[in-house]
Amino acid sequence: MNKFALSAILAIAISHQAAAQTPPLEQALAEMRADVQGRADHHGYPIAGMASEDARQVLATIHSLDRDEWAAAWSAKADTYIAKAKAAHTRAAARDAYLAAWRLYMFGGWPARTSPGKEAAYHNAAAAYRAYGALQDPPMHVVRIPYEGKEIVGYLRLPKGVTRPPVVIAMGGLDEFKEYEAIGFEPGALAHGLGVFAMDMPGVGESPVPMEVGSERVFSKVIDVLSARPDIDKTRIGIYGVSAGGYWAALMAYVEPKRLRAAAAFGAPTDHYFDADWQHASWGTKEYLFGLKEARMYVYGTTDEAAFLAKMAPFSLKARGILDKPSAPLLLGNGEHDTQVPIADLYLPLKSGSPKYAWVNPTGGHTGRGPGWNEERINSDVVAAWFAEQMR
């Protein structure tokens, strides 16, 4: 057998072997579809509340890992709900359709606005949520606060029948924009007689300030504005942050100890999270659906790993010398098995400065989520209940 015939036989054998193996792209798509569908079926983060059938239909149309194809697929399904909302004959039907559209647009832009399609999906999500919010009872009010040549955009909802209620400033994390946090925290807060002002943390959504040390000043401005409103009790203003947003809530407990009646931070980075070793270890966590490293770098304003890691260190509350200072009453919460933010970042501030409150789910993951403890229950039974007690 000559060398040319042998090469041909080897080429055929290799091609048959490759065909028998699952291509990496197809394997990645299959795993992605299974994970997303599983979360939709079991109301898991980040798509709790999305209809399982909607997820199934959209996933069947996605054939690559291209960001814009991803955004377009979820947005196309969302568009059908916008049409239903506009054609609805009842307020309730329109409201529900806008909410379904928001969930789909939101996931089309998740976890970060890293392509034109994802950027468009984010803006469509915000518009759908505002249409939904206007039909709520009590209605949601969009509040725009001029700030440093830009504006702070927030959503305010006050409980019915309560004169000058307390208000909690609420924010999510690097992928939980204000709409996400509003829908998760408002039901429990309103049930406990609390108003909610939902806003984006620095570096995400419509925040006018980047993710950098010093951006906490934006929250002091919000406290100024809320304190001046005649329909809010300025002596009972709180702040609540989840995940990366928990960092800012914890920090503000020290920055505004006199004007904040209480603060709560769940799954909050405070020190060890900002170490390069933790960042490397956490990027592959299965708790997060996909794109964690990319989303983190986007929020910090870089696509360069070395620049991102270098930018992290100054954020540490320990490095900033703030942990031993007095703070407003502060509730720290998380799950013992959090793989996105080290549980040590809860215990460090708990042992420093003013006495703190803590809630730890011994079997929970990030922010305390786990069997029997979804976000809705944590927000209502733990966080809102604690704020109500502090605001009494």
Strands 150-157 and 195-199: antiparallel
| 257 alpha-carbon distance from chain centroid | 25
The predicted-structure confidence for 341-366, as pLDDT tens digits, reads as follows 999 999 999 999 999 999 999 999 99
What stretches of the chain adopt beta strand conformation (E)?
A: 141-147, 150-157, 167-171, 195-199, 237-242, 262-266, 330-335, 357-361
User: What are the boundaries of each domain within the chain?
Assistant: 26-135, 139-391
CATH class, domain 139-391, is: alpha beta
Give yes or no for a contact between 251 and 317, defined as CB atoms under 8 angstroms apart. yes
Give yes or no for a contact between 39 and 51, defined as CB atoms under 8 angstroms apart. no
The number of residues making up the chain comes to 392
25: pLDDT confidence band, cut at 50, 70 and 90? confident
User: In 3D, which of 382, 376, 340, 345 has the Cα closest to residue 361?
Assistant: 382
- Over residues 160-171, the mean pLDDT reads 97
Residue 16 has pLDDT above 90, yes or no: no
pLDDT of the residue at 175? 92
C-beta neighbour count of 91 within 10 angstroms: 11
Average pLDDT score, the chain: 93
pLDDT of the residue at 19? 39
Q: Return left, alpha or beta for 161; rule: phi > 0 is left, psi -120 to 50 is alpha, else beta.
A: left
Residue 2 has pLDDT above 50, yes or no: no
Residue 316 has pLDDT above 80, yes or no: yes
Strands 262-266 and 330-335: parallel
The predicted-structure confidence for 225-252, as pLDDT tens digits, reads as follows 999 999 999 999 999 999 999 999 999 9
Distance, in Å, from the CA atom of 238 to the CA atom of 252, rounded to the nearest integer, reads 10
- Over residues 56-80, the mean pLDDT reads 97
Burial (0-12, 13-18, 19+ Cβ within 10 Å), 59: middle
Residue 388 has pLDDT above 80, yes or no: yes
C-beta neighbour count of 305 within 10 angstroms: 14
Q: Where do we find the tokens 């703190």?
A: 356
Distance, in Å, from the CA atom of 90 to the CA atom of 332, rounded to the nearest integer, reads 42
Distance, in Å, from the CA atom of 232 to the CA atom of 141, rounded to the nearest integer, reads 14
pLDDT of the residue at 8? 34
Query: Crossing angle for the helix pair 52-59 and 24-41, nearest 10 degrees?
Result: 170
User: In 3D, which of 332, 216, 324 has the Cα closest to residue 265?
Assistant: 332
Distance, in Å, from the CA atom of 57 to the CA atom of 75, rounded to the nearest integer, reads 12
Distance, in Å, from the CA atom of 160 to the CA atom of 231, rounded to the nearest integer, reads 12
Sequence-ordered list of residues with C-beta below 8 angstroms from that of 250, at least 6 positions apart, any chain: 241, 263, 265, 268, 270, 317, 330, 332, 349
pLDDT of the residue at 23? 52
Distance, in Å, from the CA atom of 268 to the CA atom of 274, rounded to the nearest integer, reads 11
**SS3 call for 338:** coil
User: In 3D, which of 112, 45, 113, 47 has the Cα closest to residue 267?
Assistant: 45
0.85 exceeded by the pTM?
yes
Residue 14 has pLDDT above 50, yes or no: no
10: pLDDT confidence band, cut at 50, 70 and 90? very low
Q: C-alpha angle 319/324/327, rounded to 5°?
A: 110
13: pLDDT confidence band, cut at 50, 70 and 90? very low
Residue 11 has pLDDT above 50, yes or no: no
